[in-house]
Amino acid sequence: KNSTAALGEAQKINYEGINHFDHELAYREQKWLQLENDLRQTNFDEDFFLTYQPKINLETKKLEGMEALVRWRHPQKGLVSPIEFISIAEENGMILSMGEWILDDALKQTRRWIEQTGEPLQVAVNVSPSQLLSANFVDLVISCINRHKLAANNLEIEITEEVMVEDTSLCNQVLSALREKGISIAIDDFGTGYSSLAYLNRFPLSKLKIDRSFVTNIHCNEGNYEIVRTIIALSKSMNLEVVAEGIEAQDELDVLNQLGCQQGQGYLFSKPLEAAEFEKIFIARQKV
Protein backbone atom coordinates (compact mmCIF):
# COMPACT_ATOMS: atom_id res chain seq x y z
CA LYS A 1 0.00 0.00 0.00
CA ASN A 2 3.01 2.18 0.56
CA SER A 3 4.05 2.01 -3.05
CA THR A 4 0.53 2.77 -4.32
CA ALA A 5 0.52 5.94 -2.28
CA ALA A 6 3.93 6.82 -3.63
CA LEU A 7 2.75 6.10 -7.17
CA GLY A 8 -0.24 8.41 -6.70
CA GLU A 9 2.14 11.04 -5.45
CA ALA A 10 4.39 10.56 -8.45
CA GLN A 11 1.46 10.86 -10.88
CA LYS A 12 0.21 13.99 -9.19
CA ILE A 13 3.61 15.53 -9.56
CA ASN A 14 3.68 14.40 -13.15
CA TYR A 15 0.34 15.98 -14.08
CA GLU A 16 0.68 19.17 -12.16
CA GLY A 17 4.35 19.59 -12.74
CA ILE A 18 5.15 22.55 -14.88
CA ASN A 19 8.84 22.88 -14.30
CA HIS A 20 11.76 20.67 -15.02
CA PHE A 21 12.38 19.90 -11.36
CA ASP A 22 8.96 18.30 -10.89
CA HIS A 23 9.37 16.13 -13.97
CA GLU A 24 12.81 15.10 -12.83
CA LEU A 25 11.38 14.15 -9.45
CA ALA A 26 8.53 12.18 -10.97
CA TYR A 27 10.93 10.39 -13.26
CA ARG A 28 13.17 9.41 -10.39
CA GLU A 29 10.19 8.22 -8.39
CA GLN A 30 9.01 6.12 -11.32
CA LYS A 31 12.44 4.58 -11.71
CA TRP A 32 12.62 3.84 -8.00
CA LEU A 33 9.20 2.15 -8.06
CA GLN A 34 10.15 0.07 -11.07
CA LEU A 35 13.36 -1.09 -9.47
CA GLU A 36 11.58 -1.74 -6.19
CA ASN A 37 9.05 -3.85 -8.02
CA ASP A 38 11.78 -5.79 -9.86
CA LEU A 39 13.64 -6.33 -6.61
CA ARG A 40 10.58 -8.01 -5.11
CA GLN A 41 10.51 -10.52 -7.96
CA THR A 42 14.08 -11.66 -7.44
CA ASN A 43 15.34 -14.97 -6.21
CA PHE A 44 18.57 -14.43 -4.28
CA ASP A 45 20.33 -17.60 -5.42
CA GLU A 46 19.58 -16.88 -9.06
CA ASP A 47 19.72 -13.12 -9.41
CA PHE A 48 22.38 -12.14 -6.91
CA PHE A 49 26.00 -13.02 -6.46
CA LEU A 50 28.85 -11.88 -4.30
CA THR A 51 32.11 -10.43 -5.47
CA TYR A 52 35.23 -10.39 -3.31
CA GLN A 53 37.94 -7.79 -2.99
CA PRO A 54 41.22 -8.85 -1.35
CA LYS A 55 42.42 -7.30 1.90
CA ILE A 56 46.19 -7.26 1.88
CA ASN A 57 48.63 -6.95 4.75
CA LEU A 58 50.67 -3.96 3.62
CA GLU A 59 53.81 -5.09 5.38
CA THR A 60 53.92 -8.76 4.37
CA LYS A 61 51.85 -8.33 1.17
CA LYS A 62 49.91 -11.44 2.15
CA LEU A 63 46.21 -11.98 1.64
CA GLU A 64 44.49 -11.62 5.03
CA GLY A 65 40.90 -11.68 3.92
CA MET A 66 38.36 -10.22 1.57
CA GLU A 67 35.35 -7.93 1.54
CA ALA A 68 32.14 -9.40 0.16
CA LEU A 69 30.28 -6.98 -2.13
CA VAL A 70 26.87 -7.92 -3.47
CA ARG A 71 25.80 -7.68 -7.14
CA TRP A 72 22.36 -7.88 -8.75
CA ARG A 73 22.11 -9.26 -12.26
CA HIS A 74 18.95 -7.59 -13.58
CA PRO A 75 17.28 -9.40 -16.53
CA GLN A 76 16.97 -6.20 -18.60
CA LYS A 77 19.24 -3.65 -17.01
CA GLY A 78 22.29 -5.85 -16.51
CA LEU A 79 24.29 -5.27 -13.36
CA VAL A 80 22.60 -2.85 -10.97
CA SER A 81 24.85 -1.10 -8.47
CA PRO A 82 24.38 -1.90 -4.78
CA ILE A 83 24.39 1.85 -4.21
CA GLU A 84 21.00 1.82 -5.95
CA PHE A 85 19.36 -1.34 -4.68
CA ILE A 86 20.65 -1.52 -1.10
CA SER A 87 18.87 1.71 -0.21
CA ILE A 88 15.68 0.36 -1.78
CA ALA A 89 16.03 -2.89 0.14
CA GLU A 90 16.57 -0.89 3.33
CA GLU A 91 13.38 1.05 2.72
CA ASN A 92 11.15 -1.88 1.84
CA GLY A 93 12.57 -4.21 4.46
CA MET A 94 14.06 -6.73 2.05
CA ILE A 95 17.51 -5.95 3.44
CA LEU A 96 16.84 -8.43 6.25
CA SER A 97 16.38 -11.49 4.05
CA MET A 98 18.94 -10.24 1.54
CA GLY A 99 21.46 -9.63 4.31
CA GLU A 100 20.90 -13.12 5.65
CA TRP A 101 21.55 -14.57 2.20
CA ILE A 102 24.71 -12.46 1.80
CA LEU A 103 26.08 -13.54 5.17
CA ASP A 104 25.37 -17.19 4.49
CA ASP A 105 26.89 -17.11 1.01
CA ALA A 106 29.98 -15.22 2.15
CA LEU A 107 30.62 -17.60 5.06
CA LYS A 108 30.05 -20.68 2.93
CA GLN A 109 32.64 -19.40 0.44
CA THR A 110 35.08 -18.40 3.15
CA ARG A 111 34.93 -21.86 4.69
CA ARG A 112 36.03 -23.34 1.36
CA TRP A 113 38.88 -20.89 0.90
CA ILE A 114 40.12 -21.48 4.43
CA GLU A 115 40.17 -25.20 3.73
CA GLN A 116 42.01 -24.66 0.45
CA THR A 117 44.64 -22.31 1.79
CA GLY A 118 45.02 -23.45 5.37
CA GLU A 119 45.07 -19.73 6.23
CA PRO A 120 42.76 -18.12 8.82
CA LEU A 121 41.13 -15.82 6.25
CA GLN A 122 38.67 -13.22 7.45
CA VAL A 123 35.68 -12.17 5.39
CA ALA A 124 34.24 -8.69 5.83
CA VAL A 125 30.50 -8.39 5.34
CA ASN A 126 28.70 -5.05 5.07
CA VAL A 127 25.76 -4.76 7.44
CA SER A 128 23.09 -2.06 7.15
CA PRO A 129 21.90 -0.22 10.25
CA SER A 130 18.41 -1.76 10.13
CA GLN A 131 19.98 -5.21 9.87
CA LEU A 132 22.32 -4.67 12.79
CA LEU A 133 19.47 -3.45 14.98
CA SER A 134 16.97 -6.12 13.88
CA ALA A 135 15.68 -8.72 16.34
CA ASN A 136 17.93 -11.76 16.82
CA PHE A 137 20.74 -10.40 14.65
CA VAL A 138 23.43 -11.75 16.96
CA ASP A 139 21.85 -15.24 17.10
CA LEU A 140 21.53 -15.25 13.34
CA VAL A 141 25.20 -14.42 12.89
CA ILE A 142 26.37 -16.97 15.44
CA SER A 143 24.28 -19.77 13.98
CA CYS A 144 25.56 -18.94 10.50
CA ILE A 145 29.17 -19.10 11.74
CA ASN A 146 28.47 -22.45 13.40
CA ARG A 147 26.63 -23.82 10.39
CA HIS A 148 29.74 -23.28 8.30
CA LYS A 149 32.09 -24.52 11.02
CA LEU A 150 34.02 -21.26 11.17
CA ALA A 151 35.64 -19.43 14.06
CA ALA A 152 34.10 -16.11 15.09
CA ASN A 153 37.23 -14.21 14.07
CA ASN A 154 36.83 -15.41 10.49
CA LEU A 155 34.07 -12.82 10.27
CA GLU A 156 34.32 -9.06 10.27
CA ILE A 157 31.24 -6.89 10.20
CA GLU A 158 31.50 -3.51 8.51
CA ILE A 159 29.12 -0.87 9.80
CA THR A 160 28.91 2.87 9.23
CA GLU A 161 29.11 5.60 11.85
CA GLU A 162 25.45 6.55 11.48
CA VAL A 163 24.16 3.42 13.21
CA MET A 164 25.97 4.37 16.40
CA VAL A 165 23.98 7.59 16.54
CA GLU A 166 20.62 6.04 15.72
CA ASP A 167 20.01 3.83 18.72
CA THR A 168 22.98 4.11 21.01
CA SER A 169 22.05 1.61 23.68
CA LEU A 170 20.69 -1.12 21.42
CA CYS A 171 23.66 -0.67 19.10
CA ASN A 172 26.04 -0.98 22.02
CA GLN A 173 24.31 -4.16 23.20
CA VAL A 174 24.55 -5.76 19.78
CA LEU A 175 28.16 -4.76 19.16
CA SER A 176 29.20 -5.91 22.62
CA ALA A 177 27.57 -9.29 22.09
CA LEU A 178 29.27 -9.73 18.70
CA ARG A 179 32.64 -8.71 20.09
CA GLU A 180 32.29 -10.97 23.08
CA LYS A 181 31.90 -13.88 20.68
CA GLY A 182 35.06 -12.80 18.89
CA ILE A 183 33.60 -11.21 15.77
CA SER A 184 35.54 -8.23 14.45
CA ILE A 185 33.77 -4.86 14.06
CA ALA A 186 35.04 -2.35 11.52
CA ILE A 187 33.84 1.22 10.99
CA ASP A 188 33.39 1.70 7.27
CA ASP A 189 33.93 5.06 5.54
CA PHE A 190 35.53 6.34 8.72
CA GLY A 191 35.56 10.11 8.98
CA THR A 192 32.80 10.82 6.48
CA GLY A 193 29.82 10.72 8.85
CA TYR A 194 28.51 13.50 11.00
CA SER A 195 29.01 11.73 14.29
CA SER A 196 31.42 12.79 17.01
CA LEU A 197 34.51 10.81 17.90
CA ALA A 198 33.05 10.06 21.33
CA TYR A 199 31.71 6.74 20.07
CA LEU A 200 35.25 5.40 19.73
CA ASN A 201 35.26 5.23 23.51
CA ARG A 202 31.76 3.97 23.98
CA PHE A 203 31.60 1.11 21.51
CA PRO A 204 33.67 -2.07 21.42
CA LEU A 205 35.24 -1.59 17.99
CA SER A 206 38.08 -3.50 16.34
CA LYS A 207 39.06 -1.56 13.26
CA LEU A 208 38.80 1.76 11.44
CA LYS A 209 38.42 1.72 7.70
CA ILE A 210 39.82 4.90 6.18
CA ASP A 211 37.45 6.17 3.51
CA ARG A 212 38.59 6.16 -0.10
CA SER A 213 38.09 9.92 -0.43
CA PHE A 214 40.96 10.46 2.05
CA VAL A 215 43.25 7.89 0.46
CA THR A 216 42.99 9.39 -3.02
CA ASN A 217 46.18 11.25 -3.97
CA ILE A 218 47.52 10.99 -0.46
CA HIS A 219 51.02 11.35 -1.92
CA CYS A 220 50.32 14.80 -3.36
CA ASN A 221 47.28 16.09 -1.49
CA GLU A 222 48.52 17.58 1.76
CA GLY A 223 45.09 17.74 3.38
CA ASN A 224 44.43 14.08 2.72
CA TYR A 225 47.89 13.17 3.91
CA GLU A 226 47.33 14.90 7.25
CA ILE A 227 43.89 13.33 7.71
CA VAL A 228 45.16 9.82 7.02
CA ARG A 229 48.25 10.31 9.17
CA THR A 230 45.98 11.42 12.02
CA ILE A 231 43.53 8.52 11.61
CA ILE A 232 46.38 6.01 11.67
CA ALA A 233 47.88 7.63 14.78
CA LEU A 234 44.43 7.71 16.40
CA SER A 235 43.82 4.04 15.70
CA LYS A 236 47.22 3.11 17.13
CA SER A 237 46.71 5.07 20.31
CA MET A 238 43.25 3.56 20.75
CA ASN A 239 44.44 0.05 20.04
CA LEU A 240 42.35 -0.31 16.93
CA GLU A 241 43.39 -1.94 13.69
CA VAL A 242 43.35 0.23 10.59
CA VAL A 243 42.68 -0.50 6.93
CA ALA A 244 42.83 1.89 3.98
CA GLU A 245 40.29 1.46 1.18
CA GLY A 246 40.42 2.61 -2.41
CA ILE A 247 44.18 2.32 -2.96
CA GLU A 248 44.63 2.83 -6.69
CA ALA A 249 48.23 3.95 -7.14
CA GLN A 250 51.64 2.72 -6.07
CA ASP A 251 52.44 6.22 -4.77
CA GLU A 252 49.44 6.03 -2.45
CA LEU A 253 50.50 2.60 -1.22
CA ASP A 254 54.05 3.80 -0.54
CA VAL A 255 52.81 6.63 1.67
CA LEU A 256 50.38 4.35 3.54
CA ASN A 257 53.20 1.92 4.16
CA GLN A 258 55.43 4.66 5.44
CA LEU A 259 52.65 5.81 7.79
CA GLY A 260 52.35 2.28 9.19
CA CYS A 261 48.91 1.40 7.88
CA GLN A 262 48.39 -2.31 8.52
CA GLN A 263 45.98 -3.38 5.84
CA GLY A 264 44.86 -2.17 2.44
CA GLN A 265 42.30 -2.70 -0.23
CA GLY A 266 41.81 -1.17 -3.66
CA TYR A 267 42.05 -1.45 -7.43
CA LEU A 268 45.86 -1.45 -7.18
CA PHE A 269 45.60 -4.97 -5.78
CA SER A 270 42.35 -5.95 -7.45
CA LYS A 271 38.83 -4.82 -8.12
CA PRO A 272 36.09 -6.97 -6.57
CA LEU A 273 36.03 -10.34 -8.37
CA GLU A 274 33.54 -13.15 -8.76
CA ALA A 275 34.36 -16.11 -6.55
CA ALA A 276 35.82 -18.30 -9.32
CA GLU A 277 38.15 -15.56 -10.48
CA PHE A 278 39.15 -14.58 -6.96
CA GLU A 279 39.98 -18.21 -6.34
CA LYS A 280 42.16 -18.46 -9.42
CA ILE A 281 44.15 -15.35 -8.61
CA PHE A 282 44.30 -15.23 -4.82
CA ILE A 283 43.51 -18.69 -3.46
CA ALA A 284 45.13 -21.12 -5.87
CA ARG A 285 48.58 -19.60 -5.42
CA GLN A 286 48.32 -19.90 -1.63
CA LYS A 287 47.27 -23.52 -1.71
CA VAL A 288 48.93 -25.69 0.92
Chain centroid to Cα 10, Å, comes to 32
Q: How far apart are CA 176 and CA 82, in angstroms?
A: 28
Tell me which residues in 192-251 interact with ligand C2E (CB under 6 A).
212, 246-248
266 interacts with, out of ligand C2E, Ca ion, none, CB within 5 to 8 A per kind: ligand C2E
Which is nearer to ligand C2E, 26 or 269 (by Cβ)?
269
Binding status of residue 272 toward ligand C2E by CB under 6 A: yes
Per-residue interface string for the shown chain with Ca ion, residues 144-163, x marking contact by CB under 5 A: --------------x-----
Q: How far apart are CA 214 and CA 217, in angstroms?
A: 8
For 9-33, what is the HEC assignment?
Answer: HHHHHHHHCCCHHHHHHHHHHHHHH
Which segments of the chain does DSSP mark as H helices, in order? 2-16, 20-40, 44-47, 82-92, 95-117, 129-132, 137-147, 163-166, 168-181, 199-202, 212-215, 222-237, 250-258, 275-278
For the CB of residue 189, give the shortest distance to Ca ion in the complex, in Å: 4
Question: Running DSSP on this structure, what letter comes out for residue 149?
Answer: T
For the CB of residue 211, give the shortest distance to Ca ion in the complex, in Å: 6
Binding status of residue 273 toward ligand C2E by CB under 6 A: no
Beta-sheet pairing, 48-57 with 63-74: antiparallel
Per-residue interface string for the shown chain with ligand C2E, residues 40-79, x marking contact by CB under 6 A: -------------x--------------xxx---------
Tell me which residues in 100-139 interact with Ca ion (CB under 5 A).
126
Nearest residue to ligand C2E on Cβ basis:
266
**Residue 155: strand pairing partners:** 123
* Interface residues toward ligand C2E, by CB under 6 A: 53, 68-70, 81-83, 86, 102, 126-128, 188-189, 212, 246-248, 266-267, 272
